[in-house]
Amino acid sequence: MHPYGVRDVEKLLRLPRSTIRALIAAGFVTPARGPRGAWLFSFQDLIVLRTAQALADADVPQRRITRSVRELRRHLPESMPLSGLSIGAVGDRVVVREGGGRWLADSGQYVLEFEGDPASGALSVIERNNAAAAASGAQGWFDRAEALEHDDAQAAITAYERAIAADPVLLDGYVNLGRLLHEAGRLARAEQIYRAALKACGSDAVLLYNLGVLLDDMNREPEAMEAYQAALRDDPGLADGHYNLALLYEKLGQPREAIRHMARYRVLVGSKSN
């Protein structure tokens, strides 16, 4: 059964809708669809989302939470009951307790025994060799790139390129790299990165939306429209996608579709502000 709507989740777990959407986009929870495409969550979904809330309460950054839960999903067998895991934080790292083992969610690296309750975030002592190994790979380059974005965009671009070279399915690396290339005016290269990401990682609403914005800026309206529509198929609640589609439909002389998407945008924005 899937008896809980988005408003129920917001009220019961006190999670902002943006975080819920990010976790759905990451593939950590896959709610069912109800009337008019509304999300419906099972009790197990609530347990998973509650874990994310606990990590947020432990001051783990939202980017780290969404990235870690995505990687956690990749490291687990399909039959593993997610609610049976104990997940906590060591600094800004997410650590999973699975039986007698302990490992980093965003890398799969095993860690030493630690003191405290992992569910409370009161943990300590990651094995130094394992932590260094994790930091030296794709995640290390990704973290370095994030830190460099505001001070040295070119260095950040290079670090993101190294990150996705080390992990060809690092979706966040592609998304951030494409955005920086777009901002730098390197539009053709940004398109190459987004399309490589779609091939390597599959369909993703944020990735498709960013591709749509890029194609729109390149005056390739029909392709931009296709990208926005694909993004909305992945996430019908992506308000900005409806807004940009409305502008495109208006520009292309299709007022009925423009009105429909603008109305949907206003409903979504209004529901988030309530």
Domain CATH code at residue 265: 1.25.40.10
Q: Which segment, 109-123, 150-164, 173-187, is predicted with the most confidence on average?
A: 173-187
Domain count, the chain: 3
pLDDT number for residue 33: 82
pLDDT-derived band at 270 (thresholds 50, 70, 90) equals confident
pLDDT reading at 194 higher than 60: yes
pLDDT reading at 274 higher than 60: no
Instruction: Single out the residue in 121, 136, 151 at which a domain terminates.
Output: 136
For residues 266 and 274, what is the distance between their CA atoms, to the nearest angstrom?
12
Per the listing, tokens 């895991």 go with 85
Task: Using a pLDDT cut of 70, give the percent of the chain over it.
Answer: 64
The amino acid that residue 235 corresponds to is D
pLDDT number for residue 180: 94
* Joined tokens for residue 230: 């694909």
Instruction: Single out the residue in 119, 136, 153 at which a domain terminates.
Output: 136
Say how many C-beta atoms besides its own lie within 10 A of residue 131's C-beta.
18
Asked if 6 and 38 count as a contact pair (C-beta separation under 8 A), the reply is: yes
pLDDT number for residue 178: 95
Is the overall model pTM greater than 0.85, yes or no? no
> What are the residues facing 39 on neighbouring strands?
33
For residues 265 and 17, what is the distance between their CA atoms, to the nearest angstrom?
15
**Same domain membership, residue 264 and residue 237:** yes
> Domain residues for 246?
221-274
**Same domain membership, residue 60 and residue 167:** no
**Cα–Cα–Cα angle for 15, 18, 19, rounded to 5 degrees:** 50
Instruction: Single out the residue in 89, 106, 136 at which a domain terminates.
Output: 136
CATH number of residue 63's parent domain: 1.10.1660
pLDDT-derived band at 213 (thresholds 50, 70, 90) equals very high
Task: Using a pLDDT cut of 90, give the percent of the chain over it.
Answer: 31
Beta strands in 10-169 (DSSP E): 32-33, 39-40, 86-90, 93-98, 101-104
pLDDT-derived band at 269 (thresholds 50, 70, 90) equals confident
> What are the residues facing 102 on neighbouring strands?
97
**Same domain membership, residue 176 and residue 230:** no
pLDDT reading at 10 higher than 90: no
**Same domain membership, residue 157 and residue 35:** no
pLDDT reading at 140 higher than 50: yes
State mean pLDDT over 161-189: 92
The amino acid that residue 84 corresponds to is G
The amino acid that residue 194 corresponds to is Y
**Same domain membership, residue 25 and residue 111:** yes
State mean pLDDT over 8-26: 77
User: CB neighbours of 199 closer than 8 A, spacing ≥ 6?
Assistant: none
**Same domain membership, residue 75 and residue 30:** yes
pLDDT reading at 244 higher than 90: yes
Q: Phi first, then psi: what are they for 40, rounded to 5°? A: -130, 130
* Across 23-32, 111-120, 166-175, 194-203, least confident range: 111-120
**Same domain membership, residue 173 and residue 126:** no
pLDDT number for residue 181: 95
**pLDDT tens sequence across 41-100:** 876 677 677 766 666 666 667 667 766 666 655 555 444 444 455 555 555 556 666 555
